[in-house]
Structure 1
Amino acid sequence: MIVYVESNFILELALGQEGAASAESILSGAEQRLFELVIPAFSLSEPFGTMAHRGRERKKLGNQLEEQFRQLRRSRQHQVTIQPIETAPAVLLGLETAESDALDSVVMRSLRTASRIELTVEMFEQALNYRRDYDLSSSDAIIYANVVSDARKREKTRPKLFVSRNHRDFDIPQVHAELRPLGAEYCDSFERVVEKLAQHNVKLPRPSVLPIPGVA
């Protein structure tokens, strides 16, 4: 059994989002070699750009809040009112640090566990076609070209799952038709992957309690 994941798998775990428990089960199962986890190398670096953007937005918001607090402190009638929320800029900064640490940890685990697909000239050329023909973003087209290229090299009788939460891009007839002859199937959630693995008698470990970024 092969499970292809991409950047939103990494972010789901690092940010502790709604599908993190299922994603953690998938990663833990791969660490126990219950199946092969495969990820485009491109997808391991992309989340850092997303985190950097979130950090810039939070810093901007924190600066705006601090300026508002500075002005409100000049008014005696507002000084007491704003005290409970004056720590907001510091809280935002703490969240950024915690999420960055969590991302580092998830990427390290993935590097130690998953097989990686390196982008080639041929894959990039195919990605350009997918971007045009399937109306995919550049990053999604590269990821999909990686997955299809790798799946074509594998035994067709070996079941394969490609999971991405970008269902608006990948849950289309063209993708399903292209994956099916390769023994592959698209899944739009990590919960669905857990269900599919169970159908193939892959018993995943129960996820441990996930840490919440920014909460000690």
Structure 2
Amino acid sequence: MLHKTKGIVLNYIKYSDTSIIAKVYTEAFGLQSYIINSVRSAKAKNKIALFQPLTLLDMVVYHKNNHGLQRISEMRCAEPYFSIPFDIHKTSISIFLSELLLKTLKEESDNQELFDFLFHSLHALDKIEKNVLNFHVSFMLRYSFYLGFFPQETKSVWENSLYKPSAEIITYLENCMKYTYFESFSSTNVHRREALDIVIAFYKNQIESFGDMHSIGVLREVLE
């Protein structure tokens, strides 16, 4: 049976000479893996561009419950990005976020609130101008709510961690939780670096399989 759904591309791997397998977080079915044939062939008309990380898709898909690989009947870009592909800061943040989502999105069922949050957040990243450098920390703190471990008090973020933040870092974390993506507040490279270390440690304490973030080195190099 065919179903219409929006989706957020997380990544893809090559499969045979011309095909790929893409992980997509969908509005209707949660996390799914799709096999797309001939997308890397000379006649594919650049369709591979639709599967860059965090691309927002409108899709018509075939769906079978408890079936490992699904198939896509139709697809198009739902909302093109106007700044993320051309802004090195935003591009680096998007790579970091795609790795984060791959580590944490597991449900193979719909979750409308979570999907709406992710869709809105990616729109915000594309649109914001003044608060870009704080986005990834703010996102991680907000995202934790949908994963079930949002800190009711700021101290919950670091109380089980080896990191003991200064008063300035505590204020920075509070601002990340308090202000919207579009509201600016002062921060330094030191604030962002230490706060990110604290929030990643917070995730590791909550998710046993979280592991290391491999994209963090590039993110730090670009943002600093």
Q: Same fold (TM over 0.5)?
A: no
Structure having the larger proportion of residues in strand: 2
Identify, as 1 or 2, the structure richer in helix: 1
TM-score (norm 1): 0.24
